[in-house]
Amino acid sequence: MGQCDICGLERKTRGVIVEGAEVEACYACVGKQSGEEKKRTVKKERPKTVKEESIVENYAEIVKNAIKESGKREEDIAKEMNITLSYLKHIERGEMMPDMKTAKKFEKKFNIRLVETVVLDFTPANREKKKELTMEEQAEWE
């Protein structure tokens, strides 16, 4: 244990450089010194990916074939799925896209695939770092 040259208290100290002079400072005073640079951590850019669910383009054809293969009437299917008959017909004809909840009901009921997961990549492209001009390039500019 030694005496801190900055605050004067009797504490555990270590040698540090303050404004060009080497002094003994306690650990409480070491971080306060303006002459000492703090290390900065540089964050690396992580790839940013987003998973998004969307309905396949040929949903109408898939639903229509599934209803045909089931052999049930459209009215019964609409009732079982708790949707209106007109909504079912609009989906079947491709006039309306089903919402995610309804699409998942179709998937479960008919064992078909209507929802696909798309991975969107938002990783920034490698940017070119600014390059300093050579003396030759500077002369060409002038």
Read off the pLDDT band of 40 (50, 70, 90): low
Between 6-20, 41-55, 100-114, the lowest mean confidence (pLDDT) is in: 41-55
Fold exhibited by the domain 49-121: 434 Repressor (Amino-terminal Domain) (1.10.260)
pLDDT at 80: 93
Q: What is the mean pLDDT of residues 68-97?
A: 94
Q: Where in the chain is the domain with CATH 1.10.260.40?
A: 49-121
Here the tokens at position 71 are 């052999």
Q: Give the pLDDT band of residue 15 (cuts 50, 70, 90).
A: confident
Q: What is the mean pLDDT of residues 50-76?
A: 92
Which pLDDT score, from 0 to 100, does residue 36 have?
Answer: 47
CB 98 within 8 A of CB 59: yes
Contact 114, 55 (CB under 8 A): yes
For 64-84, what is the mean pLDDT? Answer: 94
